[in-house]
Structure 1
Amino acid sequence: MTLLKVENLKKSFKDVNAVNDITFQVNKGEIFGLLGPNGAGKSTTISIISTLLNPTKGKVFYRGEDIFKNPKAIQEKMGVVPQEIALYPTLKGYENLKFWGNLYGLKGNNLKKRIDEVADIVGLKDKLKTKVENYSGGMKRRLNIAAALLHEPEILIMDEPTVGIDPQSRNHILDTVLELNKKGMTIIYTSHYMEEVELLCTRISIMDKGQVIALGTKDELVNIIKGHKKIELTFDNIPPNLLDKLKIIEEVEEVDSKDNIIILTMKNGDMAFKDILDKVMGTESSILSIDIKKPSLEAVFLHLTGRALRD
């Protein structure tokens, strides 16, 4: 079932097209990833979906309804974890959650119960009496998530939730995302960290310069560069004429060498592996290592844009 649908969305700031005619849909119960470098248009897209910004052009539908005709319909069902920390540093953790809970219309025992539940989810139950200014960066991020969960949203938007935090808090947040999704929550997750998106997301939209340049499951995206598996062979000494012998193997697309390493780009690495070994074993040099590099989302982004994701 389609929960959220973005159609031909565009947002311009004077002469800059921050979001340029993008279309995608988010299905109920999935983790949908928006992957791209800083400045790709991810946060602007999220701000429009959250009804914080009006689009220059295009529409967003939530359960089939135009969100800008009835913003409250989606606001009541959405939790947003912004990229910037949205907490009051001089208030305690509990007081922050109480403040946000009141804004969501929660009161009394129901609010207390939800504060206990969300604090437990993010692992901060024993830190609620501490002022937020004394929290670590990771703890602030986790409290930010707790605040967005108080009203039990149907869809959770997380905008770069692990930026600038310690590995332990990062792992806790990633585990929390997976656990929330396992319980049925639909999540839109934006990041420029390739490994996070690969770990978490059911489907992925790769954004660059305000546009969606690829969309699909991880396997579907990697299939874009299906024939770009690489095999790296490290020798004590590269044998004479070996490069020429490897070039004639049908499934070898490209042969490069650097120092004592031969790099093969394959059409089908599995089929050609025996032929490669036969050519190598017919020489007097020794192989020190063989490294098979399968296509990744990083390679897909490089293939589509000509640069690495974090350049």
Structure 2
Amino acid sequence: MPALRLSVVVTRRLPEAVETRMKELFDVELNHDDHKMSRDELVDAMKRADVLVPCVTDRIDATMVAQAGEKLKLIANYGAGVDHIDVSSSRQRGVLVSNTPGVVTEDTADMTIALMLAVTRRIPEGLAHMQAGDWEGWAPTSFLGHRIGGKRLGILGMGRIGQAVARRARAFGMQIHYHNRKKVHPDIEAELEATYWDSLDQMVSRMDVISVNCPHTPSTFHLLNARRLKMLKPEAVIVNTSRGEVIDENALTRALRAREIAGAGLDVFEHGHEINPRLRELPNVVLLPHMGSATVEGRIEMGEKVLVNIKTFADGHRPPDLVVPSMT
């Protein structure tokens, strides 16, 4: 008699190749219209599934975990970040949590450099000018930006993505500086010619570009607060492709409006898709809809990791990308 297949609920549409493979392996319930599930819908899904496959748009807190049925045994997150899931409460309920680390590294680093160039070279302004049909020809002083070669880049968070950003930035001739919970291995520092700053205050006050590449944790919430933002040089630029909560968005908006900071490139926001309307109006800001990891290759690879985690769990083994509470 064949073994019973795990019941899996997927909260958002995934690439077709991933969904097809899931249907072959498990009893899958897909979100065909790709709507963002409500809190009640998520709780209902957790009651009827062996495995829930959520993503960053699904906030799963302790109260919701407490309402989950006895059937739920694994939350196989589609994404690397798990700050939207109460991992500790899940483990206390006997529910494992897995994620997809490493998949988005190169794509997010690419987007970080793209935003850096877009802000410093005023690419969106030039694009809007051309699309409006306003261009009357080249002029020596029109759309003047700044080169990034020779500039100091301060990386906040020197994990996989931070190091990938540093490698790309070095190719542009930037000087690499970083702040991290601890220094990276000397071999990595030597490869990147990176300078470690124990004091974040001292680092931000000396950089031309700040790249936020650290996760959102209680200790990194508003790490770039109003006080630290005032330390930046007036010609400095901030790029954030990590988590919006790391920057005090209202304080950043005020600093940008007052031209206390030259510009910002943001792919993530403090309150999800609810962005400060004053931020949208600023010409010295480039806003993207969380596109950092949005490549076909990356999304499929992410799905493949989810499949491996679920299949390994189904076979009675520990998922290879198991998240433990101390990691969050």
TM-score, structure 1 as length reference: 0.27
Q: Which has the larger radius of gyration?
A: 1
| Structure richer in strand, relative to its length | 1
Structure possessing the higher relative contact order (Cα contacts under 8 Å, 6 or more residues apart): 1
Structure 2 length as normaliser, TM-score?
A: 0.26
